[in-house]
Amino acid sequence: MNVFIIGLGLIGGSLALDIQNEFENACIHGIDTNENHIDEALELGIIHKKATLNDIGNAEIVIIAVPVDVSLQVAIEVLNIITENTLVLDVGSTKEDICKAIANHPNRRNFLATHPIAGTEFSGPKAALKNLYRGKTNIICEVEKTAFKLQEKALEIFLKIGMRIRYMDPKSHDKHIAYVSHLSHISSFMLGKTVIEKEKNERDIFDMAGSGFASTVRLAKSSPAMWTPIFKQNKTNVIETLEEYINNLQQFKDLMMQDNFKEIYKEMENTNHIKQILNGILLEA
């Protein structure tokens, strides 16, 4: 089974490791614009062979795991050169633009838009992890537009690497993911920024930071190269979530200025309900 992975970072690299593990006959071909990443991926055993787009004619599966702006172009290039039975997957964090980009391509039925919701704050081949996807959710968009045989092939892979599948239209995906993923990244980046700005001349102060701070700013370590195009593609939804978040913070500040701590207590108590929601995430995971 010839699998081509384009983009050998955390997401593509981790998929490569799990596919190798589940499919004995898989031969993983790696493509990346960064030569160092290809060398690293070979050394780390993430891929078996170095490849280029020209080799894709013999691919059974092509996985596009590059930043979401690059993937728009790459998806078309790949669809242009594949054979009839090749499955092409993208795994980006936005789904509307990619689905639009390939909507009218003659090989549309070879393409499946997916978003495996898994990751860490790290990037590059060294960040690739075995079993990253086990117990995690994979959102599949516009499944009905993919050839039935190729849907089946994709499902087999995702189920074998331990993912549960949810189906959703690209518009809904992008709207909701803005709340449960994209906003978290901005809140974390801006929290990191606020504290660094304030404390830059007093390094010792970070001695005072505990595990709570570490947890809330963890995502501020994420890759700007990956996240900038995500925010760009999901601009309208992300701005909406940001406005609501800023309003809530502003309201909290107003309550403090009015010494209305009774209401602040209630706000926190109501939000404690997040416990059940997070338990849901962890239990199902």
Binding to a copy of itself, residues 151-210 (CB under 8 A)? 166, 173, 176-177, 179-181, 183-199, 202, 204-210
8 Å CB contact between 191 and 217: yes
8 Å CB contact between 150 and 110: yes
Token pair recorded at residue 240: 């909406």
Least distance between a copy of itself and beta carbon 110 (Å): 26
Binding segment for a copy of itself (CB under 8 A), chosen from 24-32, 45-53, 98-106, 275-283, is: 275-283
Question: What are 155-160's contacts with CB under 8 Å, separation 24+?
Answer: 157/19, 157/22, 157/23, 157/61, 158/114, 158/116, 158/133, 160/22, 160/23
Element (H, E) at 17: helix 10-22
Least distance between a copy of itself and beta carbon 253 (Å): 5
Binding segment for a copy of itself (CB under 8 A), chosen from 46-54, 73-81, 141-149, 219-227, is: 219-227
Least distance between a copy of itself and beta carbon 206 (Å): 5
Cβ contacts of residue 234 below 8 Å, gap of 6+? 94, 96, 174, 177, 178, 182
Within residues 227-266, the interface with a copy of itself by CB under 8 A covers 227-229, 231-232, 235, 238-239, 241-246, 248-250, 252-253, 256-257, 259, 261, 264-266
Cβ contacts of residue 95 below 8 Å, gap of 6+? 113, 115, 139, 141, 170, 173, 174
Is residue 283 a contact residue for a copy of itself (CB under 8 A)? no
Least distance between a copy of itself and beta carbon 99 (Å): 17
DSSP code, position 133: T
Calpha distance 54→12 (Å, rounded)? 19
Pick 35 or 207: Cβ nearer a copy of itself = 207
Within residues 76-135, the interface with a copy of itself by CB under 8 A covers 117-121
Among 29, 37, 95, 136, binds a copy of itself (CB under 8 A): 136
Least distance between a copy of itself and beta carbon 74 (Å): 19
